[in-house]
Amino acid sequence: MNATAKTDPWIRCSKPNPAARLRLFCLPYAGGGASIFKNWGRTLPDRIEVCAIQLPGREDRISETPFRQVEDLLPVLMERLHPYLDRDVAFFGHSMGAFLSYELARALTEEHRAPVQLIVSGQRAPHLPLSRPESYHLSDTDFCERLRSLNGTPASVLAEPELLSMILPLLRSDFEMSETYRRAPQTRLNCPIKVLGGDRDEEVDRAGLEAWQETTSAPVKIEMFPGDHFFLQSQSDALLKTVERTLRPHLH
């Protein structure tokens, strides 16, 4: 299992641990890759094996075509996850990754392999409509302005035409996947959900975070952090402590 994780292009475990009690799958925001979570395995307790999902079109998979629709990506991810379900699992996802984490948790619940915990970050509940116009189809100039407003893409990248030409197709694909995602009435989760938000996030308001309660029969707890939509970066140490506290009850 862990030998597979070292070579699996989809699942990256920076610190494989055959004795781990829990496997935490981490899914990135739009444009992000597995490297976002490279330090998590060394920071979280040894009983947690961190497995970051590496989607096509980014980092060492940059030559591959990225997915543009959640319904196309989900069955592929499910097939990849099945060999890793020999112990309890949990999911963490930020922004786009929150929707993907939710869909994986829902699919596993339908297979009677529900995760013990779902942690969603920087994202409204999946049944709520998009709170702003779609942006993935905008001109390059307007799309870059959209990226600047989110504060997640370095200004140096946005100012470099060659770099932009490399990353814009991936970002457009990821934005399309996030912005066109619509949850149909489906299985209600039975696992607890921890919802994380930034207190200055103009993308996701408190009501959007609280609405996650409608997706599960288990408790939902909300925790706010200082910062905008990318508090995941600016509050990384505090966020990891919250992840550890959230998962600790599932390690016994």
- 146-182 burial: b if 16+ Cβ within 10 Å, else e: bbeebbbbeeeeeeeeeebeebeebbbbbbbbbbebe
pLDDT band of 4, cuts 50, 70, 90: very low
Taking the C-alpha atoms of residue 119 and residue 26, their distance in angstroms, rounded to an integer, is 9
Instruction: List 225's β-bridge partners, or say none.
Output: 198
Taking the C-alpha atoms of residue 176 and residue 247, their distance in angstroms, rounded to an integer, is 31
DSSP-derived 3-state class of residue 198: strand
CA 210 vs CA 29, 103, 138, 228, 240: distances in Å: 20, 18, 30, 18, 21
Tokens of 129: 């409509």
* Span 78-137, pLDDT tens digits: 999 999 999 999 999 999 999 999 999 999 999 999 999 999 999 999 999 877 767 777
Residues 66, 93 contacting (CB under 8 angstroms): no
Instruction: List 94's β-bridge partners, or say none.
Output: 121
pTM, two decimal places: 0.91
Q: One of 95, 135, 173, 178 is an active-site residue; which one?
A: 95
Query: Across the chain, where does the E strand assignment appear?
Result: 11-12, 22-27, 48-53, 88-94, 117-121, 193-198, 220-225
Taking the C-alpha atoms of residue 48 and residue 61, their distance in angstroms, rounded to an integer, is 26
Residues 65, 121 contacting (CB under 8 angstroms): no
Count Cα atoms within 13 angstroms, Cβ side, for 245.
9
**What contacts 177, CB < 8 A, 6 or more positions away?**
30, 67, 68, 69, 70, 73, 96
pLDDT band of 184, cuts 50, 70, 90: low
pLDDT band of 2, cuts 50, 70, 90: very low
Handedness of CA 248, 86, 122, 145 (dihedral sign): positive
pLDDT > 90 fraction of the chain, expressed in percent and rounded: 70
pLDDT band of 209, cuts 50, 70, 90: very high
95 is catalytic: yes
